[in-house]
């Protein structure tokens, strides 16, 4: 077969790839990587750092490139055929990864090098790579007996399938819900742009009226602005019950199976729980530290959250006679209260946040801080016409990276926003191989009369994902296994979350927040209101984040075999953090993709953990000027370019000169004075 994935290529040849090319290319990539590993194992020379550890990091390049293209398509532009291939490919990849982790001969060579590391005079990056490679064996069953290795393989194969099923069920449930409104009064309160988008969506499906779906750009405006409480309830109930309908797309048994298999796997490897296993390789280190961290913030946030909830409830009662505030009222009355207190709402802000201007803004911020320039190009192949592609270079025109950006929802695209990479950065044969990085979002689409105008929340999302992209693009390490975002999971959110801070600063907003019709720069009073309202309902928002972190830990830090009812388990966990009455028909776990499909199991706390880092880091910028070149250089040099080459706390202290202090976060959130 003339398979484009098996030809030599630089950027992924998307327009030439057909779904049937993937499986042969994945099998070929596995076969090639196995040969490369056989060459390491059969090397008659004594095991050294370069012929074993370094050689292992350079294996599987083709496989990495093929699978990164494939799995991004499965998230951003999937169909039944691709999903079917994913079901076939995942167990193969899981099996292959076990073939490496359980390869006794390979482990012996790695161990030989590891045991003499004190005499090897390795630099910091080489030391980290050696540690990482050794642990990838010792932590994944290299020391197990044969029958246990077999059991581990079976568990891993099953887990990879279950994760895919979980995600497919959520996508199917999201796509199958439609709320068609034929009476215009049902849209009362909705901004014109949201109405227009709903009408365009109905027309695209040959329907008369206005179509509301569970995709964020449709769901969020309706739940925030629609006056019709019953329709908000209908929408929120559908959103909150994904994977919880006792139908073909039900995720309850999948959640229980995943939690139990992860626990069995951890026990097999000698760990008390999945969380103990995961956290060994995190800044947090242990479940106890995570619980203590989450509970400390909970203690500070809870009084504020209760005050805010009482305030919101009184406001809803006064405005509309609502006796009991429900989950589908939260966004609606929060928005109304925000308008009353700050005279600020997203509709006032959106005209200043035309998508193209915000993209230009984030590029300008990256240029001022890190000396980058972005040039849109049509020479790079893409998987969908909506994807934008850029060549990134430094101010001396040296090539830095290829950057892809995919901004709007489509039926084959999962909800949310994420960053991914198509080609890792590394140094090989005296060449610095530069990365290809992508961000995927789900922002409001342009309509016939309006361009894509972002809510302020979407603006911060774009900056967030772009922060991840900078971590990938500015990578400058020797080994791809330590490059870019290949860092401890509770450190990976620092670059993304710190960049969000620029969205709140006058100096940055003036660069790009310009009215899409008049070109007028965002008025100072609006900037002031954005700043003032930044901590609005922060207590409730913090409680919500903490509840997700605690739910994640409840599934992964104990033996889940006694849990037989997903909903009941969840209710118990939420008892400490819930403000609203429980909705019996809704379940969070069955749609908690971060922990049951993404890589955040026993790691959701890391969003809050990274907020401590980012608040502390941004305080450093604020003290010296938000575009201070020296501080930006220190951040680029010690954080963005270094990837996972050293322990993150060492890197952070090198940048900041001290360990991070939680006070910066609590102060920024308005939870302490």
| pLDDT tens-place string over residues 605-634 | 999 999 999 999 999 999 999 999 999 999
Comparing C-alpha atoms, which of 516, 531, 495 is closest to residue 444? Answer: 516
Please state, in angstroms and rounded to a whole number, the distance separating the CA atoms of residues 424 and 402: 11
Residue 458, pLDDT score: 95
Comparing C-alpha atoms, which of 615, 599, 596, 600 is closest to residue 668? Answer: 615
For the segment 561-583, the average pLDDT, to the nearest whole number, is: 97
Please state, in angstroms and rounded to a whole number, the distance separating the CA atoms of residues 498 and 369: 13
Ramachandran assignment for 625, one of left (phi > 0), alpha (psi -120 to 50 degrees), beta (any other): left
Count CB-CB contacts under 10 A for residue 34: 17
196 part of the active site: no
Which contiguous run of DSSP H or E holds residue 211? strand 210-212
Contact 415, 496 (CB under 8 A): no
Q: What are phi and psi of 207, to 5 degrees?
A: -120, 155
Please state, in angstroms and rounded to a whole number, the distance separating the CA atoms of residues 164 and 413: 14
The answer regarding whether domain 4-143 maps to CATH 3.40.50.720 reads no
Residue 407, pLDDT score: 97
Quickly state the pLDDT bin for 347 (edges 50, 70, 90).
confident
- Our CA dihedral for 232, 238, 242, 248, rounded to 10 degrees, sits at -170
State pLDDT tens for residues 437-476: 999 999 989 988 899 999 999 999 999 999 999 999 999 9
State pLDDT tens for residues 26-36: 999 999 999 99
Residue 490, pLDDT score: 87
Residue 664, pLDDT score: 86
Please state, in angstroms and rounded to a whole number, the distance separating the CA atoms of residues 136 and 130: 10
State pLDDT tens for residues 374-425: 999 999 999 999 999 999 999 999 999 999 999 999 989 988 999 999 999 9
Q: Render 412-470 in DSSP notation, one character per residue.
A: TS-SS-EEEEEE--EEETTEEEPPEEEEE--PPPP-SSS--B--HHHHHHHHHHHHHHH
Please state, in angstroms and rounded to a whole number, the distance separating the CA atoms of residues 471 and 492: 9
Q: Which of 465, 500, 505, 570 is catalytic?
A: 465
Q: Give the distance from CA 435 to its chain's centroid.
A: 19
Please state, in angstroms and rounded to a whole number, the distance separating the CA atoms of residues 605 and 296: 12
Residue 332, pLDDT score: 97
Tell me what percent of the residues of the chain surpass a pLDDT of 90.
92
State pLDDT tens for residues 71-118: 999 999 999 999 999 999 999 999 999 899 889 999 999 999 999 999
Count CB-CB contacts under 10 A for residue 124: 12
Kindly report the pTM of this predicted structure: 0.86
Burial (Cβ within 10 Å: 0-12, 13-18, ≥19) of residue 144 = middle
In DSSP terms, 372 is beta-bridged to 394
State pLDDT tens for residues 278-295: 999 999 999 999 999 999
What are the residue boundaries of the structural domains of the chain, listed by start?
4-143, 177-240, 351-534
For the segment 183-203, the average pLDDT, to the nearest whole number, is: 95
Q: Render 361-409 in DSSP notation, one character per residue.
A: HHHHHHHHHH-EEEEE-SSS--SSTT-EEEEEEETT--EEEEEEEE-S-
3-state secondary structure of 2: coil
pLDDT at 15 over 80: yes
Q: How far is CA 158 from CA 64, 166, 261, 266, in A?
A: 21, 12, 8, 15
Please state, in angstroms and rounded to a whole number, the distance separating the CA atoms of residues 175 and 549: 27
For the segment 286-313, the average pLDDT, to the nearest whole number, is: 95
pLDDT at 662 over 90: no
Contact 197, 447 (CB under 8 A): yes
Look at the chain and count its residues: 673
Contact 257, 245 (CB under 8 A): no
Ramachandran assignment for 399, one of left (phi > 0), alpha (psi -120 to 50 degrees), beta (any other): beta
Residue ranges in 228-272 assigned as alpha helix (H): 229-240, 252-268
State pLDDT tens for residues 121-179: 999 999 999 999 999 999 989 989 999 999 999 999 999 999 999 999 999 999 999 99
3-state secondary structure of 593: helix
SS3 content of the chain, % helix, strand, coil (to 5): 60, 5, 35
Which contiguous run of DSSP H or E holds residue 286? none
Tell me what percent of the residues of the chain surpass a pLDDT of 70.
100
Please state, in angstroms and rounded to a whole number, the distance separating the CA atoms of residues 173 and 244: 10
Burial (Cβ within 10 Å: 0-12, 13-18, ≥19) of residue 350 = buried
3-state secondary structure of 589: helix
Residue 1, pLDDT score: 62
State pLDDT tens for residues 259-270: 999 999 999 999
In DSSP terms, 393 is beta-bridged to 373, 399
Residue ranges in 55-145 assigned as alpha helix (H): 55-57, 61-76, 80-101, 104-115, 124-138
The helices-and-strands tally (H runs, E runs) of the chain is: 27, 9
For the beta sheet containing 436-440, the strands, ordered from the edge strand earlier in sequence to the opposite edge, are 372-376, 388-394, 399-406, 436-440, 418-423
In DSSP terms, 405 is beta-bridged to 388, 439
The contacts found for 331-336 with CB under 8 angstroms, 24 or more apart, are 331/220, 331/223, 331/224, 332/223, 332/224, 332/225, 332/226, 332/232, 334/536, 334/537, 335/224, 335/225
The answer regarding whether domain 351-534 maps to CATH 1.10.1370.40 reads yes
């Amino acid at each position: 077969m003339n398979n484009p994935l098996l030809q030599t290529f630089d950027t992924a040849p998307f327009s030439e790839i057909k779904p049937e090319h993937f499986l042969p290319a994945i099998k070929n990539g596995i076969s090639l990587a196995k040969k490369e590993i056989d060459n390491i194992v059969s090397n008659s020379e004594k095991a050294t750092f370069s012929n074993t550890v370094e050689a292992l990091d350079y294996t599987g390049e083709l496989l990495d490139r093929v699978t990164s293209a494939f799995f991004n398509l499965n998230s951003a532009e999937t169909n039944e055929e691709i999903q079917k291939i994913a079901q076939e490919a995942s167990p193969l990849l899981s099996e292959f990864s076990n073939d490496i982790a359980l390869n006794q001969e390979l482990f012996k060579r790695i161990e030989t090098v590891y045991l003499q590391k004190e005499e090897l005079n390795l630099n910091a990056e080489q030391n980290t790579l050696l540690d990482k490679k050794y642990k990838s064996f010792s932590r994944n069953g290299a020391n197990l007996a044969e029958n246990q290795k077999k059991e581990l393989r079976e568990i891993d194969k099953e887990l990879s399938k279950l994760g895919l099923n979980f995600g497919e069920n959520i996508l199917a449930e999201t796509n199958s819900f439609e709320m068609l409104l034929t009476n215009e009064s049902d849209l009362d309160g909705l901004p014109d742009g949201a109405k227009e988008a709903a009408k365009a969506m109905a027309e695209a499906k040959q329907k008369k009226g206005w179509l509301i779906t569970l995709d964020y750009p449709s769901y969020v405006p309706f739940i925030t602005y629609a006056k019709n409480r019953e329709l908000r309830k209908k929408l929120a109930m559908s959103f909150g019950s994904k994977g919880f309908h006792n139908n073909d797309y039900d995720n309850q048994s999948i959640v229980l199976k995943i939690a139990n298999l992860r626990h069995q796997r951890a026990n097999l490897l000698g760990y008390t729980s999945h969380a103990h296993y995961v956290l060994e390789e995190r800044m947090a280190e242990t479940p106890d530290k995570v619980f203590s961290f989450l509970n400390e913030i909970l203690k500070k946030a809870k009084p504020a959250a209760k005050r805010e909830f009482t305030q919101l409830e009184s406001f809803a009662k006064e405005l509309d006679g609502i006796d009991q505030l429900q989950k589908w009222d939260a966004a609606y009355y929060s928005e109304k209260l925000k308008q009353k207190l700050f005279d600020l709402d997203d509709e006032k802000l959106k005209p200043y946040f035309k998508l193209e201007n915000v993209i230009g803004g984030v590029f300008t911020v990256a240029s001022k801080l890190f000396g980058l320039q972005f040039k849109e190009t049509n020479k790079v192949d893409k998987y969908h016409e909506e994807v934008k592609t850029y060549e990134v270079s430094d101010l001396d025109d040296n090539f830095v990276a290829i950057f892809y950006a995919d901004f709007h929802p489509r039926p084959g695209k999962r909800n949310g926003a994420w960053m991914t990479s198509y080609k890792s950065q590394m140094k090989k044969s005296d060449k610095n191989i530069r990365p290809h990085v992508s961000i995927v979002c789900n922002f409001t689409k342009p309509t016939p009369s309006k361009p894509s105008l972002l809510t302020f929340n979407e603006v911060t999302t774009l900056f967030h994902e772009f922060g991840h992209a900078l971590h990938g693009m500015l990578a400058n390490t020797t080994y791809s296994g330590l490059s870019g975002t290949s860092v401890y999971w509770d450190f990976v959110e620092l670059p993304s979350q710190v960049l969000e801070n620029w969205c709140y600063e006058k100096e940055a907003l003036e660069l790009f927040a310009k009215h899409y019709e008049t070109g007028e720069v965002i008025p100072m009073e609006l900037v002031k209101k954005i700043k003032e309202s930044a901590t609005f309902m922060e207590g409730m928002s913090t409680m919500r984040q903490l509840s997700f972190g605690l739910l994640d830990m409840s599934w992964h830090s104990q033996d889940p075999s006694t849990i037989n009812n997903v909903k009941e388990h969840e209710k118990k966990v939420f008892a400490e953090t819930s403000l609203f009455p429980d909705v019996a028909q809704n379940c969070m776990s069955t749609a908690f993709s971060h922990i049951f499909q993404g890589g955040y199991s026993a790691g959701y706390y890391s969003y809050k953990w990274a907020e401590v880092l980012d608040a502390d880091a941004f305080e450093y910028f604020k003290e010296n000027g938000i575009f201070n070149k020296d501080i930006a250089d220190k951040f680029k040099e010690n954080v963005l370019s270094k990837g996972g080459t050293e322990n993150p706390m060492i890197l952070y202290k090198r940048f900041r000169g001290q360990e991070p202090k939680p006070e910066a976060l609590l102060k920024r959130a308005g939870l302490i004075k």
